[in-house]
Amino acid sequence: MSAEPMSPSLELLLRETSWIRRLARSLVADANQADDLAQETWMRALEHPPRVGESLRGWIATVMRNLARERRRSEGRRAEREERSARFESLASSAELVGRLATQRSVVEAVMELDEPYRTAILLRYFEECTPTRIARELGVPLPTVKSRLARGLEKLRARLDREHGGEGRTWCLALLPLAGRPLGAASAPLLPLSVGALALNAKFLLSLAGAAVVGAVLFVALRGSEPTARRTEGPLGGTREDPNTLAAPGTGRSPEVLASSREEPARVAAAHPARPAGESPVAARPASFIFRGRVIDAAGRALPGIAVRHASNGPGRDLDWSAPDAPSGARAETDAHGRFELATSDGGGTLLVDDEDYVTVLAGKPILTGIVLVAAERLELSGAVFDEFGLPLEGASLRVVLPEGFRGRFDEVLDFSADLSLEVRTREDGAFAFPNAPFVAGAKLSATREGYVSLEEDLLLLPMRDHVIVLHRPLLSTRRITGIVIDPLGAPVEGASVGFGLDTTRSDERGNFAFDLAAERSFNASAQRFFIFVPDALIAVKPGFQPGTFAPSARDEAGEPVWPDRVILRLGSEPLSIGGRVVDADGEPRAGVRVWATDLTFLGGLGDPSRDEGPDVTHVETLLAGKPSGWNWVETEADGRFRIEGLLDRDYTLEAMDPSNLLRAVEPDVAAGRRDVEIELDSDASFDSLRGIVADHSGKPVAGVRVATMCDAFRARFQGRVIGTHHSGTDGVVTDALGRFALNEVPKDLVYLRLDGADTIPLEWGRGIEGGLATLVGEDFDDLVITVSVRCHFQVELSVPDEADEISVLDAEGRVLVISEFLGNGRRELERQPILEGRTNTLGIGDEARTIVLFKGGIEVRRAALELAAGERVLVRL
């Protein structure tokens, strides 16, 4: 028996009106087309309402996305529909037209005759499309006052229109619906000569004035509600490709649901808020060393006028937690009618972010002098709670917004200096969470994770914004698993011990028990198998205060796989050891502030959630024993040059010492744990007093504005003989002048390289991996170096047959494979092959020596095409 069509309650449908409009605008770049898409979705709801039991939001989203997809596939068909619609509208009787225009005129007159300050608030909000925040700034009144004026103004309009139409609100609402979004100055002007001119009865105004909703098969407009509210190191298995053996994460592509957005100029806003006179700064005059210029766009690629941009000095990119609603501090500017801004500040670092009540930053701006692009999305306020399968609240669960795969590929802009933010919150003790800054982005997911539970992802835009309940389940272990217990030297179970198995880690429970599922699809081991084959063949348990416990099976099956016992016992040992000593110069004088560390640590595994894109946070046994979670574990020498490294096993180590001011290093091999008399000498004679030269492009032309700095790979994490994470250290360096010249002082001859970065060049690590270091490359030319860099070019590939290929590579004129870069604001992803998803790549960076694109499918070459690029331009390559 088929399900009956459902008749949603009026309250339920009214609640979704603002959401429907925002979803349409996230799918279609042009505002008028978005209004058409929303109205067409409503018409579908009239003709074919959803069935009983269906998710209303899910049904609406499916219908709207299908409609948007149909529009993209056939522009000709859409033109025919518009033509048919125009012919149909032309069949309306003269009486109907006169009635509609008379009703329209009464609404406009009612607006113009409103008392102040309600008239100005209504005009700015609905006819100039200013946000309440911007209105408050323009009028110099508090935000609650603006919202109160809007609510009371709309109520006065509704009351007057009800009186004029005999108390029947539905009559004038239905008469106005076909006019939503049509200007009163163009086609209508000859019939309706109003002093208002080109005011537009836009959909937002009509919906806020009347409250349109689809109820079963009837369109009913309710006179309620005024203003809808909408709120908001190079690592393992991903990141920069630093070594031929470094594991690289698969790239991202483009969502099939969203079009590449066209641009529209918000003329009405420009008219209400004219551009500043030439030469006038959009920020208050103040002493400033830096003026940053850029643009703010929304998630569909449209310019955002009247949006505040602030400079935050407390951290860039994904390390900056921007989930809290607090506005950033620092210098501030506002975008003009085209979304452009200029921001003056005395701080050249930090991050640029959107600071607006109605929008949340999705991609932040890295502070460069020009070409900054910030991406913002409408703000959503999401709240709820996370429980386990038994109904118990889960404290510390992570709620994170995951942008759709290929999100960056949606935009026409170059996003080299646009950085991802950490859009994440955690649950409280009662499992509750509040996410005030969730972005309204089509295709975005809300990811819920907690250690020991299966992760869950849901479509963000289909979730209820209030009281959303998330249930996480513990994983069901397959029969292919390893189980065991961690005990101390006396045989007592140990709770909270970290247990490593290959790249995977877990913790022992309150009884000391642990388990690994060998068949788990979501694990770091399974992810790494995509890059190279390995067989984890040992277990290791770590708890601060003890030597680790280990086990490696001696038996193997016919396939060479290790045979694990039914229950593994990992017994921890005695206390860890340490190494002490001092660092001195060539004259035996102590060196303070020098970093010292052991380079050959014992690998434990990866920390973190395997379902997340970042890859594992690699850690080592000695790092955990020293009380640190992960990363590069170094200590600093005191005033007398002394140091002490804790948490060591009973074996020999290789120590390194480095002066962080100039990266001068010394290596001391074969140091037994337990020694207290180690002496490491830093010899300043192992440095060039200075290095001088020029930076030039392939034609020999000097390149200005390139930062040249000394850098080193201080610590590398290795697994199965492969580098899976690198921690760097570097100096501030210098910037090449107008003639491309640079000069560096006190540059070590070995164990370092020169890093060259410029906004218009491909990053170069000159001397990295060269045996003998810079001394080998420099020779006697330390005063006359010439370093050649590649000019940065940008391109994006779009296939006419989307499934023709799934990867690309790029060759130079000699047929050599080039590394393709995707710049991510505060980092980059470098691969020799970049993915194609749904027939499109993200915008990529490549050197000007690129000549040929090679298409691959399933690892097999499909065809080649010439690649013609130009510096400073983004080239769309259609193949």
Instruction: For residue 20, give the H/E element and its range.
Output: helix 10-27
The DSSP letter of residue 319 is: G
Burial class (CB in 10 A: 0-12, 13-18, 19+), 821: buried
CA distance 245 to 721: 8
Q: Which of 727, 769, 774, 777 is nearest to 746 (CA)?
A: 774
Rounded to 10 degrees, the C-alpha dihedral 451/456/460/462 comes to -150
Spatial contact of 797 and 808, defined as CB atoms under 8 Å apart: yes
For residue 596, the Cα-to-chain-centroid distance in whole angstroms is 35
Q: Tally the residues of the chain.
A: 879
Amino acid letter, 160: R
Spatial contact of 394 and 386, defined as CB atoms under 8 Å apart: yes
Alpha helices in 417-483 (DSSP H): none
Burial class (CB in 10 A: 0-12, 13-18, 19+), 767: buried
β-sheet bridge partners, residue 849? none
The C-alpha angle 476, 478, 479, rounded to 5 degrees, equals: 140
pLDDT for residue 323: 42
Spatial contact of 359 and 378, defined as CB atoms under 8 Å apart: yes
CA distance 861 to 853: 11
Amino acid letter, 721: G
CA distance 508 to 487: 10
Burial class (CB in 10 A: 0-12, 13-18, 19+), 629: exposed
Distances (CA, A) of 343 to 230, 293, 352, 828: 27, 7, 9, 25
Q: Which of 489, 382, 369, 375 is nearest to 432 (CA)?
A: 382
Alpha helices in 48-131 (DSSP H): 56-73, 75-90, 94-112, 118-122
CA distance 299 to 462: 17
Spatial contact of 853 and 810, defined as CB atoms under 8 Å apart: yes
Spatial contact of 426 and 396, defined as CB atoms under 8 Å apart: yes
The per-residue b/e assignment along 594-610, b for 16 or more CB within 10 angstroms, e otherwise, is: bbbbbeebbbbbbbbbb
Instruction: For residue 27, give the H/E element and its range.
Output: helix 10-27
Structure tokens at 237: 């298995």
Q: pLDDT below 70 — which residues of the chain? A: 1-18, 29, 31, 45-56, 72-104, 127-129, 165-288, 314-329, 477-478, 611-614
pLDDT for residue 592: 95
Rounded to 10 degrees, the C-alpha dihedral 797/801/803/807 comes to -20
**3-state SS track over 215-283:** ECCEEEECCCCCCCCCCCCCECCECCCCCCCCCCCCCCCCCCCCCCCCCCCCHHHHHHCCCCCCCCCCC
Amino acid letter, 220: F
pLDDT for residue 814: 92
Distances (CA, A) of 337 to 264, 296, 746: 10, 11, 50
pLDDT for residue 46: 61
What is the radius of gyration, based on Cα positions, of the chain?
Answer: 32
Q: Which of 98, 27, 29, 16 is nearest to 59 (CA)?
A: 16
- Structural domains of the chain ordered from first start: 10-221 (1.10.10.10), 267-472 (2.60.40.1120), 481-568 (2.60.40.1120), 577-682 (2.60.40.1120), 684-788 (2.60.40), 792-878 (2.60.40)
